[in-house]
A and B are shown apart, each in its own frame.
Chain A
Amino acid sequence: MKIRKLLRSSILPIYGYFFFAFVYAPILLIVVFSFNSNPVNMMIWEDFTFDWYKTIFGFTSAATESALYLDSTDQLYAAVKNSLVVALVTTAVATVFGTALALAIARFRFRFKPFYRALMFMPMIMPDILLGIALLIFFVSVGIELSVFTIIIGHCTFLVSYVFIVVSARIADMDEALEEASADLGANSWVTFRRVTLPMIMPGVVGGALLAFIISMDDLVITYFIAGVDSQTLPVFIYGMLRRGIKPEINAIATIMLLFSLIIASVGLYMRARKA
């Protein structure tokens, strides 16, 4: 009894605080450092500044002129643009194919169905580095030049799986009789899909799409192998910067990325809460 009481009153709460501290303190530190004006050692607080943000957005200022680590803001912009293009195209393709596959496996009867289902889980289980190397070898041997296009193909190969899994879970919750009811009331398969199936699985489709978008924006390992010289994405660009020492601008970039992910995740959570 006493131990249980002790657990509940002090040990468990402390454990909880530590848990959150370990998860969020590093992230919080980055946000704090992004406003630190010390250009040499960011661990030592000097003064509050927006200079690093100004640098990212291309404004030079007194403080940064002496310590301009960012080689060129043009490269940063190109990387952001590449990341957005890759993420948007990949999300669109992966969402359509992932949803279609989930529906096909849930609704149709065909041979080797468990095998195909397992096949869809494979890209999720496979280590990123393996997938990256495999894709690189494939592109080189087929003779496709590395570019934004190869990144999109690479991302689609595994993000289709993510969408498939999220949408499959939603389809499993849906009463199949609803589709029969629709057909019974005179709707052909397309009308049934548009009026019943799609609205019912929409939270899963949106959730899968947001997940695909965030993972695509965030991926470093696979992209690192299949990105061409002129087609760096933001994570690859940041990794390149890091190799030449940690620079204060990175904190600012990271904070903006964090904000961006937070907004997307909030939209996703909001949509899920509204539909459920």
Chain B
Amino acid sequence: MSPILSVKDATKRYSTPEGGTITALDGVSLDVQPNEFVTLLGPSGCGKTTLLRTISGFEDLEGGSIEIDGATVTHLPAHRRPVNTVFQRYALFPHLSIARNVAYSLEVAGLKRAEIGSRVGEMLELVGLDGFGDRKINQLSGGQQQRVALARSLVARPKILLLDEPLSALDKNLRQKMQQELKTLQEEVGIAFVFVTHDQEEALTMSDRVAVLSDGKIQQFGTPEDLYRRPRNEFVARFLGAGNLLGATVSECKDAGAIALLESGQVAHLPSTDAACGEKIKLLIRPEDVRMDCTKDAGALRFEGTVRQVLFVGTDYIVHIETDDGTELKATLRPRAEDRGAITAPGARITLFVQQEALHPVTSAKVA
């Protein structure tokens, strides 16, 4: 399947008022398949919004190229690209009714009145706003405005829909509801969505694939599970949820796998790693992989220490412990009823286990 969007080696620099330059995009390459929900994730200033704006045509690339459905659009102005955008603050036209907002692209394209009417009606129904057509923008709630923005950008049947942090203005409950609706909508209309956010949870929930950006470069591009379980480097590991990163040194490299020595002297067996022998790496342990019960796995890592802090969050306890060699370890535990007493008191002694399979090596170096 040929990609619907293909960004190759995109480069963009800004000059700052102080006379310096900021590299917003530094050789970014990205392929998006038709019907795919792709999220650009990263902290503010990582280049994700710039990347989106070069795809929509609001920013010109300095180097590289952009192809949409096989056609090069690199230097095409925004109004001639077969993509539409949902803006961060919706950017709905306040002087037009809801129906006229949705009809805008069709009117500009010069479609017949009857066809415009029926397509606008269809679109409003799709986003659950039928009967709202005559209202003014300022008569709608935030969530409703969001839907109008979606309807307006989907009515022209773009090849790709671009979404620039569209949920950031909504409160938490509404945001979660809209996440599901967006995903459903994307499956329904069957076009590629490129979604920008700084919220890792949002990215993991909705996306088929996520591109994590930092310093104008893609650090990793993969499925949400890939990024969470097998982050390529420390930045990706840290950005996607809480985790323990323990220092280790690679001591043996074989084709079948590698062996790393933790600072505590424990041995970790790794399936494979890019790291060379003697290199210092970090081992990622997600808090939910830390367990209280001794497993059958004889090689499981064993941490003995003292409970420093306990947070009860409903089903789970988030427990911070300090091991006897001074390592901090964070664990999400769901103890059996009889064990609860052992962890809920700060200062209590505790023994925790981590299976070898839960260890994932990451390098500290970012993609450069």
Interface residues of A (CB under 8 A from B): 175, 177-178, 180-188, 191, 195-196, 199-200
Contacts and interface: CB of A to CB of B under 8 A. Distances in A.
B166 to A, nearest CB: 12
Contacts of B105: 185-187
Given A184-B78, A185-B153, A178 B93 contact: yes
B78 A200 contact: no
Contact of B79 (A177, A187, A195, A200): A187
B87 A177 contact: yes
Given A180-B58, A180-B78, A185 B91 contact: no
A237 to B, nearest CB: 43
A103 B85 CA distance: 24
A267 B63 CA distance: 54
15 contacts: A175-B91, A180-B91, A181-B87, A181-B91, A182-B104, A183-B78, A184-B58, A184-B83, A185-B84, A185-B105, A185-B153, A186-B79, A191-B108, A195-B104, A199-B95
Contacts of B94: 200
Interface of B: 56-58, 77-80, 83-85, 87-89, 91-95, 104-105, 108-109, 152-153, 156
A191 B83 CA distance: 18
A185 B108 contact: yes
Given A183-B57, A184-B84, A200-B94, 9 more contacts: A183-B58, A184-B85, A185-B79, A185-B153, A186-B80, A186-B108, A186-B156, A187-B108, A188-B77
A181 B78 CA distance: 10
Contact of B104 (A177, A185, A200): A185
What is the interface of chain A mostly: helix, strand, loop, or mixed? helix
Contacts of B91: 175, 177-178, 180-181
Nearest to A185: B105
A47 to B, nearest CB: 55
Contacts of B95: 199-200
B231 to A, nearest CB: 34
A177 B56 CA distance: 13
Given A180-B91, A181-B85, A181-B87, A186 B77 contact: no
Contacts of A200: 94-95
A185 B77 contact: no
Contacts of A182: 93, 104
A252 to B, nearest CB: 43
Most central of B108, B109, B153 by chain A CB within 10 Å: B108
B228 to A, nearest CB: 33
A177 B92 CA distance: 9
B244 to A, nearest CB: 42
A191 B93 CA distance: 14
Most central of A177, A184, A196 by chain B CB within 10 Å: A184
Contacts of B83: 184
Nearest to A199: B95
Contact of A181 (B77, B93, B109): B93
